[in-house]
Every structure is written in C-alpha cells, then in structure tokens.
Structure 1
Amino acid sequence: MIGVGMIERYVLRKTLAGLAAALAVVAVLVMLIAFVDISKNVGTRADVGFTQLLFLTVLQAPATILVLTPFIFLFGTLGAFVGLNRRSELIAMRAAGVSAWRFIMPAAIAAFIMGLLTLTLLNPLTSAMSAQFETSRDALMESYLKSAPKGLWLRQGDEKTQVVIRARARDQVEGAVRLRGVSLFVYAVQPDGSLQFAQRIEADEARLEPGFWRLSGVRVAMPGAGAIRSETYTMPSNLDDRTASERFNNPQAIAVWLLPETIKRTEAAGFSSIPFRLRLQQVLATPLLFAAMSVLAAAFSLRLMRLGGLAGLAGAGVTLGFGFFFFNELCGALGKADVLTPAMAAWTPPIVALLAGLTLLCYTEDG
C-alpha cells in the first residue's frame, strides 16, 4: 500500500530536479548573452578587463533570469512529468487509483511557495543588484558618458511649488547625487491647480544635500527681469540621495517593498506612477503566475504513452507557453499605455493561464 505522502514527495523531488535543470540551462544562456552584450556596449567604450565585465554580468543576469522564471517553471515541470510518463510511472500511479489532481498538486504548491520566496527575497535582491549594475556601469563608462550628449530629467514639488530639473549628466560623489549642466524651471502652483512660470535657474553643477540642492556657477532669470549671477545658490528639495536616484532607474531596479512609497513620491512630484503601479501588481501576481505555469505544463504531459501523441502535446504546451509570454508582454504594454488598469494588466495573464491549465486537466482527467 502506497503511503499518503510518498507519491507527493516523489513527484515533488522529480519536479524540483526538473526545475533545477531548466534553471541551469536558462542561467547559462542568459549569462552568455549578457556577457556578450556588456562586452559590446561597455567593453568597446571603456577600458575594462575580463573580471570587471564578468562582475557586471553577474549583477545584470539575475534580473533577466527572474523575468524568464515562468519559462523555467513551464519547461522544468513539463520535463519532469514527461519523464514520469515515459517511464510509465504516471500510468502506475493512476492504475493504483491515484488521481491526477493528487500528483499535480505538489508541483503547483511548490511553485506558489517559490513565488512567495521570489516576492519576498529574490525581488529585493535582484533589484539591488540591478541598481548596483547601473551604478558600476556608469562609473566604468564615466569618461564616455561625459562626452556623450544625454539629457536627464527630474522633478520635485509640493502643494506650492513645482520644479522641473534638466541636467546634461549625473554621477555619484561620496554617495551623493551630483548633476552637471543643470537647468531648473520653477513653477508656482495657483489656487486652481494650474502652474505659473516663476523663474529659471541655470547652474554648472548641482549637488543634493539633505533638504536642499547646492548649486554653483548660477544664473537666475525671472520673467521681465535680467539674469542675476551668483557663485552659489541653494534650492529647497524634498528629495534625498536614494529617492533622487530612483527617478533615474527603471521600475525593475526598485525593490517591491519600496514601490508603494515610490508611487506616492512620484505622484506628489507630478509624474505618472503607472509604470511603478504596474510593476507592483506584476510582482504581487508572481506566486499565482508560477503556479499557473506548473499546472499548465503538467496538464500537457498527462496523455498516456500508449495513446501516442505525447511529444506533440508537450510541444503544444511549449508553444502555448511562448504565446502566454507574448500575451503577458502585450498586457504589460497596454497597462503602461493606460489602456488597462495596472491590476488588470498584471493579473489577467496568470489567471488565464491557470484557467487554461485547469480546463485541460479536467478534460484529460474527468473527460
């Protein structure tokens, strides 16, 4: 008599082995592609060695691997269950009266738990590594970035004043944000909410200090008045080094726990928070997404070997997985364009994938 938990533990071990193999393959491919890309974009523009290129690759690759994690669960689970089917182990389980729901459930639960770990641990870690990658890359390419024309935009404000900041370049000096070739456009917020231009400030350099910007080489111009020159000038600011740096980063470089605060600050400064809201919802949907991909993969690998067509059905599962990936990207693009709400854009793909897997499973198991 087979023990109640023996089958679940056995299927779970096979599933974890399949996931580990898929992760290894994806990680190697991503590392190779990332190394070639960094060598082309950084190595040809800065004097860097193999060790530095490898360090940048290690910093960048985890974020890409995390994006491809749904494929890892799809291929890993599919490979594990196809292996069980080819060795007739699934046939033996079902002949013993074990329902398909029973040996698929461990894979789905494990995927959901891994999704929670990704949400709580891996996402903050990869976000920190992505931010460090951008900082390290900019430091290595400092001479190139100085000569390359590049405009950076920042915005700060409160209920009385809104300031749009444009800078030619940015760098970090002793952990503080420093901008070069700076233009500050200051607007006064009117009682009806409209903005009225108040003054324009040009500065050779702006350094963010606690509570204010310290400007040097300053020229201040107001409507109807001439420009006033000054060696130094201070401008109040509600930004700090971390929040100012976040404005230059993409949402993927911000940890999930910092996204709600970033959304509030972005909206207070007058920016659109849609990319950050979408990113937050996508990260929260990760556990359901992983579980859905596992169920979908398992459902496509349950056809009995003696009936034939298992390879074709597994191939159809892989094709459907790629189709789901493009559907997910489409929903993300529609969410960024504000066609769909961030919640709808993030949660629709995993729900559709889960329903598709459960539907196929019901058809296969219960007819």
Structure 2
Amino acid sequence: MHLDFFPSRTLTLYLAKLFVVRIFAVLVMLVLVLMMLDLLSTSGEILSVEGNGQGELWTYVSLRVPQLVMRFLPYSVLLATIISLVTLNQNSEVIAMKAAGLSAHQVLAPLLLTALVVSAVTFVFNERVVTRATATLKAWEATEYGAVPPDADTRANVYITDGTNILTARTVSGSGDAMQLGQVTWYARAPGGTISEQIRAPSARYLGPGWELQDAQKFEVGTASTSELATVVVGEGLSPAQIELESIDPDTEPFWELSSAIEAYEAVGRRTDELRAKWWHKLAGPLSAFLMPLLGAVAAFGLARSGQLFVRAVIGMALGFAYFVVDNAALAMGSFGGYPPFLAAWAPFFLFLLVGETVLIRTEE
C-alpha cells in the first residue's frame, strides 16, 4: 500500500541505502580513531601487569568497542545526515525531488525511517551486548587489569556500611550464599567514629552470618602495628542480598533486570531517582538517532549556489550537538533529584523534536 508520507519505493530505497552506508562509514571511522587513542592511554597499564600481552590488549578492545559504538552511534547518524543532505543538495537532487512535488517531510521520510530502525537496533545491542561488556570491563579495571573476570556477572567497587563499620570490595561475583568478594577491606570504627582497625584480604566468602576473610592483614591504628591473620569473620550484619543491592550499576544491568532492581530498592525504602532516570533513558537514549535527520534537515534545503550551504550544515550540526549537551545535563539533574526521572529522560527528546519540526516547517514548509 502506498503511503503519501513516503516518496516512491525506488526513491525511498535509494535514500535509505545512501544513508545507511554513510552511517556505517562515519561510525567505523569514529570508533577506529577513538579506539586507537584509548589504547594509547591504557595499553601501558594493561601491559604493566605480569603475564599480560597482546591477547589482553585484544580483550580490552573487544570490551571497549561496544561501548564506543553505543556512545557514538547517534553522533554518526548526525554526521551522516549532514553529509548525505549536503551531497544531495549540491547535486541538485533535493531540487529535483521538490520539483516533483515532494514536501520537505517526504524528502526526509526515508531517513527518518532508517534512523528509527537504527534506534531499535541500538536498544537491542545495548541490552544484549553493551551491558555485559561494560560489566566485565569494570570488573577487570577494578582488578587493575589482572585476571580477566570469567563472566559478566562480576560487579565492581562495592561500598556498604554495617552499623558504623564499613566493608568495601573491588569485585563481587556470584549471588546468594555462593557470593565471593575480591580485594576486601574492612574498616572497624570506634564509638567516636574514628577508624580503630583496618583489615585487608584478597577474598572473602559468606558464612551466614558474617564474611570470612582469608589470608588477611590487620592494621591497628592505636598501636600502629600490623599482624597476619589466617582467617577472620567480619560484617555479621551484612547479607548477600544487601551487597547485591549496593552493587547495582544501571550501566551494566539490562532494561528488564533493572526494573526488578528498582522494585527491590523501593521495597526497602531506598531512593530510586538515579536508577529510574537511567531506566527511562535506556528507552529515550537510543531514540536520539531518530532525531538526528530532523535536526540536520536544515542542511538539505536552500540553494547551494547562495553560499549558505556551509552555514546551514553548521546550524544542523549545532542543533544535534546541543541535544546531546541538554540530554546529559538533564540526566545528571534527574540522577540527584533535580528533575523527576521521567522528565529528565524524555524532556530533551520532545523539546528537540519540537525544535526540529519548528525549524523545518518555518524554513521549508
């Protein structure tokens, strides 16, 4: 069935193919450049660990590339929009389409449809690939690029209090009674709030109650003395369920599992603004790709001979980058309660959707 909103089938496929090729080309270029710069800054740390070599560098690349793809795919869609529309304008193809009776929205329809498909693929890619890669990479970074964590269920950097005492762990793996902590530090506080002793251990396991620290080293603050302990039990008031709550990272949790984590937080009366803002943003974030053709559309119209094509391209790029700035600022405000979580995630999207439509209608329609 032919829809008037779209041009002919041939023209729709032509524009969509043109757009997809440029998105892929720009994305590959950005990821390659940024990955090389990232390796220049981190390869020294990775190779400084005894036993690490080229294999570990490739492991780092395999974990870092999905993050770069997810972060810079919307930028790639924006740049691909500018490049595609400027090329069409310079070759008078936009003029030919408008002379054939197509409106500005019909010219953009294939690009918007392609961007919507990219948004859907981005959402699936983030929830199935990026979250797992991020969890593994954070856990590996927590061990200072030592042994690579065996699975993506390993969490990093937990800080939890037991009364006035504090337990920290660089890594947390497993769940329930089988939970294991790595690089554990226990801070025991005196009644006045000062730290009286510090116990460090490479690992800890749950005894129920309490956590058994093995091969521990104890430092007494009052006497400034150090002693070796084969085993010691600390944190009898801490359960694996409490530590699981503290180790929740929205960047490493899939959309459907983050919902359960938010419910668990609310069940114990914990603040959930940050988690809810990130939960909503898992939907709003991928849709940013859908906005890019609309924000960059100003580059498609106007006579190339007028000398304003470059200015129009700059305006389109400025609108796109302004969206990312506002989106990050709103998400930060929502994380600490300045905005309601729903508003923090969705307000930038709808604001720039209206801005893009306004600019397009007032200038071209």
TM-score range, shorter chain: 0.7 to 0.9
Q: 1:293 to 1:53 in 2, by over 3 A?
A: same
Over 3 Å counting, the alpha-carbon distance change for 1:287 and 1:133 in structure 2 is: closer
What CA distance in whole angstroms lies between the structure 1 residues aligned with 2:117 and 2:85?
Answer: 19
C-alpha distance in 2 between matches for 1:341 and 1:17: 38
Q: Is it true that 1:215 corresponds to 2:218 in the alignment?
A: no
C-alpha contact (below 8 Å) 1:38/1:57 kept by paired residues = no
Quote how far apart the aligned CAs of 1:104 are: 0.6
Aligned to 2:90: 86
Which amino acid letter does the alignment assign opposite residue 263 of structure 2?
A: K
**Alpha-carbon distance in structure 2 between the residues aligned to 1:100 and 1:168:** 56
Distance 1:117 1:244, change over 3 A: farther
Shift of 1:173: 8.7
Q: Aligned match of 1:6 in 10, 13, 27?
A: 10
Which amino acid in the other structure matches residue 110 of structure 1?
Answer: T
Is contact 2:205–2:211 with CA below 8 Å preserved after alignment?
yes
CA contact (8 A) 2:280 2:341 kept: yes
Say if 2:183 is the partner of 1:177: no
In structure 2, the residue matched to 1:52 is 56
Q: Which residue, 72, 89, 99 being the options, matches 1:95? A: 99
Do structure 1's residue 153 and structure 2's residue 159 form an aligned pair?
yes
> Where does 1:14-93 land on structure 2 (aligned, <5 Å)?
14-44=18-48, 48-93=52-97
What is the CA-CA distance between 1:250 and the residue it aligns to? 3.7
Which amino acid is 2:363 matched to? Answer: T
User: Is the 8 Å Cα contact of residues 211 and 236 (structure 1) preserved in structure 2?
Assistant: no
Task: Quickly say closer, same or farther: Cα 1:255–1:119, change in 2 above 3 A.
Answer: same
Q: Which moved more, 1:230-239 or 1:115-124?
A: 230-239
Aligned equivalents of 1:17 and 1:216: distance in 2?
Answer: 55
The Cα offsets for residues 46-81 of structure 1, whole Å up to 9 and x where unpaired, read as 652233123112202322331222211111111111
In 2 relative to 1, CA 279–40 (structure 1 residues): closer, same or farther, beyond 3 Å?
farther
Segment drifting more, 345-354 vs 248-257: 248-257
Deviations 1:138-188 (A, max 9, x none): 456449xxxxxx9841369xxxxx897512654659984225333589xxx
Matched residue, 1:328: 327
TM-score w.r.t. the length of structure 2 is 0.76
The whole-number CA distance in structure 2 between the counterparts of 1:171 and 1:251 is 16
> In the aligned structure 2, how far is the partner of 1:3 from the partner of 1:296?
20
Matched position secondary structure for 2:339: coil
Give the match for residue 166 of structure 1.
167
Alignment match, 2:150: none
The 5 A counterparts of 1:1-367 are 4-44=8-48, 48-139=52-143, 141-142=145-146, 152-154=158-160, 165-167=166-168, 169-170=170-171, 172=173, 176-179=179-182, 180-182=184-186, 207-209=204-206, 214-216=211-213, 235=236, 239=240, 244=243, 247-248=246-247, 250-268=249-267, 271-366=270-365
Could you tell me how far 1:261 is from its partner in structure 2? 1.2
Structure 1 residue 135 displacement after superposition = 2.7
Stretch of structure 1 that moved more, 309-318 or 129-138: 129-138
Query: 2-side partners of 1:304 and 1:111: how far apart?
Result: 26
State the alpha-carbon separation in 2 of the partners of residues 45 and 270 from structure 1: 42
1:216 Cα deviation from its structure 2 partner: 4.8
Is the alpha carbon distance of 1:164 and 1:336 closer, same or farther for their aligned partners in structure 2, counting shifts above 3 Å?
farther
Structure-1-length-normalised TM-score = 0.76
Q: Report deviation, 1:12.
A: 0.9
Identity %, equivalent residues = 21
Q: Any idea what SS the aligned residue of 2:251 has?
A: helix
Of 210-219 and 18-27, deviating more is 210-219
Matched-pair contact (CA < 8 Å) for 1:171–1:178: yes
Q: Which amino acid aligns with 2:81?
A: T
Say whether the 8 Å CA contact 2:119–2:289 is kept in structure 1.
yes
Classify the secondary structure of the residue corresponding to 2:159.
Answer: strand
Contact 2:143 2:171 in 1 (8 A): no
Aligned positions, number:
329
Letter matched to residue 329 of structure 2: L
CA distance in 2, matches of 1:234, 1:141: 28
- 1:169 & 1:363 partners in 2: Cα distance? 55
Residues 278 and 346, structure 1, Cα contact 8 Å, conserved in 2: yes
- The 3 A distance-change label for structure 1 pair 69 and 213 is farther
| Distance in 2, Cα, partners of 1:330 & 1:233 | 41
SS at match of 1:278: helix
Residue identity in the other structure for 1:309: Q
